[in-house]
Amino acid sequence: MVESLQLVPLALSSGEGLPALGLLDRLAAEAARLLHASCRVEPPQLSVDFAFDTLRRQTWSTPVLSRLQQRPRRDGAVTLGVTELDLYVPVLTFVFGEAQLRGPAAVVSAHRLRDEYYGMPGDEDLLLQRLLKETLHELGHTQGLRHCTDWRCVMSSAHTVERIDIRQAGFCAACAALLPARFG
């Protein structure tokens, strides 16, 4: 059960990757509305230099989750790291996010959710929708949900922004039935 969500900005100590506070505030507001839960941005940022691979120029998300897990939180709260850094796990080229299955920590990256990444003009509203869907997806994992075969469901696996865009910002009936009552 997600009773509250704590958003933690993630960046390198140089400041690279730090998400704009306005974006975090909008994400917190949208997540609060969808989850009926309290969602707050919790500065200061967490420096993730320890997980940054200087050759790949990417940040390994799994050790970041461990670090986020160590932060104090209230019962039923999930700590969500949000960053503009590009994330990866060793077996994959990149990930949009990662979460602990039935754990209290998750992370999402805006890096490849931006149209600018694909050489197109930026669209902040579209970015926010994608970030929100990725947040819901990772929160679903923290609640024990696995990937869903319904491509409209936010728990379907997506490795492109096009697939994220055709997802709805919500859980299908089958996934929703597996969630704690207050969630989603």
**Cβ–Cβ < 8 Å for 142, 102:** yes
- Beta-bridged to residue 107, according to DSSP, are 81, 98
Number of residues that bind Zn ion (CB under 5 A): 6
Residue type (1 letter), 45: Q
Q: Which of 8, 175, 183, 184 binds Zn ion (CB under 5 A)?
A: 175
Residue type (1 letter), 119: G
Binding segment for Zn ion among 11-19, 71-79, 103-111, 169-177 (CB under 5 A)? 169-177
Following CA atoms 114, 37, 145, 98 in sequence, which dihedral angle do they give, to the nearest 10 degrees? Answer: 40
Q: Which of residues 110-149 bind Zn ion (CB under 5 A)?
A: 148
Output the smallest distance, CB 175 to Zn ion, in A: 3
Residue closer to Zn ion, measured from CB, 30 or 134? 134
Q: Which of 65, 59, 159, 57 is nearest to 112 (CA)?
A: 159
Output the smallest distance, CB 141 to Zn ion, in A: 6
Output the smallest distance, CB 158 to Zn ion, in A: 8
Q: Return the ∠ at Cα 126 (arms to 176 and 79), rounded to 5°.
A: 50
* Residue span 12-51 as binding mask against Zn ion, x where in contact by CB under 5 A, dash where not: ----------------------------------------
Output the smallest distance, CB 156 to Zn ion, in A: 7
Q: Which helix (H) or strand (E) holds 78?
A: strand 77-83
**Cβ–Cβ < 8 Å for 32, 7:** no
In the set 16, 84, 138, 162, the catalytic residue is 138
Q: Which residues bind Zn ion (CB under 5 A)?
A: 148, 150, 153, 155, 172, 175
Query: Would you please indicate which residues are annotated as catalytic (active-site) residues?
Result: 138
